[in-house]
Chain A
């Protein structure tokens, strides 16, 4: 083990975590504001509702809320069907939205890179990765909260329902929201030409093309 390598890695993780957390704390409201249209698109796609996601600043702190508009009848239980026009709301703490982003960008800053350019590539790759991770987590938490209200209502009426959407939300809330950015970061790092394994692949490709060029060259 090279102690210096480990020291540098620890330093990068600590610094990246502190910086990402500080950016989230100071500029979180603007970041969340930027990604709200994306979250709205995703929540419309995964749910049977038309949704409106907003950033609220209230006495309970900064929150991201969802208003779900029922556009077609939704069966809840034998005594309740939601008719078009009904609205339901749920909210989460705004900090919750930033957690996968802090983890993703901390993880993207952690691995050693061969060239400085690779670090910039990782951060740029992190932007679409962040969008994918956010779409796979936050809309499910918001819609999942609404779905859970309906499932609980149905359970009180004696009907047991399950929902894949709620199952995914529970997976996310019990650790998936941390796992997904870490997996995304590994995939981003792996897509670099200098990543472990890739260098050999690139070297072999270069050797093969050299051999092919030599084979096709006319004899001197």
Chain B
């Protein structure tokens, strides 16, 4: 039995070149998005979803959202450019775009990656809120040190899974 491969990594230097190019292009587009749109629309939706999760877990927390700000009596958090998981999302999208896989598989991968990054980022914001209220000594190390490396590690696992699932068995040999 042979294995057909949806994802192929036989040209790593070409992969890196496309990966960096696509990443840089996505970053350029991201920085072209005006601040008011991000703050009042995108980040407002992010903090609103975080507030809903916090109210669900701890209904006694009187959290409210004002534009990109999540606040209660105990803490106030602001989601700003760079706190939205866009960097990780762009990295995953660029890696998938650079892989030699069918277009449908890349699109499916990017959609799944978007869901993963949104969930991870919501979890990060909710965790930061609870740390700001109850464990202030951990408030700095988590977003600066643990969260970014954790998100990269999880993204690496996601990408590896995507690439390895793309190896389809049972293509009959000619």
Contact = CB atoms under 8 A, between A and B. Distances in A.
A212 interface: no
Contacts, number: 104
Contacts of B148: 99, 178
B9 to A, nearest CB: 6
A95 B144 contact: yes
B133 interface: no
A187 B30 CA distance: 27
- Give the secondary structure class of A's interface: helix
Given A106-B149, A174-B82, A175-B86, A9 B160 contact: yes
A6 B140 contact: no
Contacts of A102: 145, 149
- Give the secondary structure class of B's interface: helix
Interface residues of A, number: 41
B88 interface: yes
A174 B26 CA distance: 11
Given A1-B165, A21-B149, A173-B82, A178 B13 contact: no
Nearest to A60: B140
Contacts of B31: 170, 174
Interface centre among B15, B87, B167 (most CB of A within 10 A): B87
Interface residues of B, number: 38
A206 to B, nearest CB: 19
B16 A10 contact: no
A186 to B, nearest CB: 6
B140 A61 contact: yes
Given A10-B157, A21-B146, A174-B27, A187 B141 contact: no
Nearest to B19: A183
Interface stretch (A67-75, A115-123, A189-197): A189-197
Contact of A183 (B9, B20, B161): B20
Given A2-B164, A110-B156, 12 more contacts: A5-B164, A61-B141, A93-B141, A93-B144, A99-B144, A171-B27, A174-B31, A178-B148, A179-B20, A182-B91, A183-B16, A187-B16
The 10 closest A-B pairs by CB, nearest first: A175-B87, A95-B145, A17-B153, A95-B144, A102-B149, A93-B144, A1-B167, A1-B164, A6-B164, A190-B12
Interface of B: 9-13, 15-16, 19-20, 23, 27, 30-31, 81-82, 86-88, 90-91, 140-141, 144-146, 148-150, 152-153, 156-157, 160-161, 164-165, 167, 169
Interface of A: 1-2, 5-6, 9-10, 13-14, 17, 20-21, 24-25, 60-61, 93, 95-96, 98-99, 102-103, 106-107, 110, 170-171, 173-175, 178-179, 182-183, 186-187, 189-190, 195-197
